[in-house]
Amino acid sequence: MPDPTPREPSDDEGRVELSAPATPEMMQMVHAVLEQLWSNHEDVAMADRIRFETAVIEILGNIVEHAYRLEPGESERRFDVSLSATEAALVASFGDDGMPVSIDLSDVTMPDEDAESGRGLALAMAAVDELSYDRASGRNHWRLTCVRQPG
């Protein structure tokens, strides 16, 4: 019988990490990487793929759009993301060097029906089972977890 206790960090095996400029073009890159990931993990249910990809793209979109540099320097803004699919879960963890984000995730709510923006974080939170943000070593860290549906 499979062990029901959460697995250890060695679960990170198989992960794919990407580091790239924080530009809109890189959203297609992440879509392409996810597409390959799914083709290597055909057992991941379509519903899980969809909610994971939705949240990943929302968080990345926010980094691209909002995570400005503290000091606008010479060098480009970049992000990195680690993507992994284990039997138990799909996990994405983002890092970026933008300014600290002053949002309390527990305050995030879905805007009204007629709002034309402001749904990104609420959608990401609704899509996955866990979304966390923290600031460490001068970087923003976002972590998303989708607990997988039983096959």
Partner 1 sequence: MIEFAVDTTPEGVGVVTPKGRLNMSSARGLKDILDGLVAEGTSRIVVDLGETTFLDSSGLGALIAGLKSARQAGGDLRVARPTEAVTTVFKLTNLDRVLRPRDSVEGAFDA
Residues of this chain that interact with partner 1 (CB under 8 A) are 24-25, 27-28, 31, 46-47, 50-51, 53-54, 57-58, 61, 64-65, 110, 113-117, 119-120, 122-123, 126-127
> What tokens were used for 65?
């759009």
Q: Of 14-22, 42-50, 64-72, 79-87, which part binds ligand ADP (CB under 6 A)?
A: 64-72
> E-strand spans in 31-88?
78-85
Q: Taking Cα atoms as reference points, which of 150, 151, 148 lies closest to residue 11?
A: 148
Cβ-contact 121, 62 below 8 angstroms:
yes
- Alpha-carbon gap, residue 97 to 75, rounded angstroms: 11
**Partner interacting with residue 84 (select from ligand ADP, partner 1, a second copy, none; CB below 5-8 Å by kind):** none
The CB-of-83 to a second copy minimum distance in angstroms stands at: 10
Residue the block writes with tokens 């969809």: 50
Contacts to a second copy by CB under 8 A: 10, 13-21, 25-26, 28-29, 32-33, 35-37, 39-40, 74-76, 80
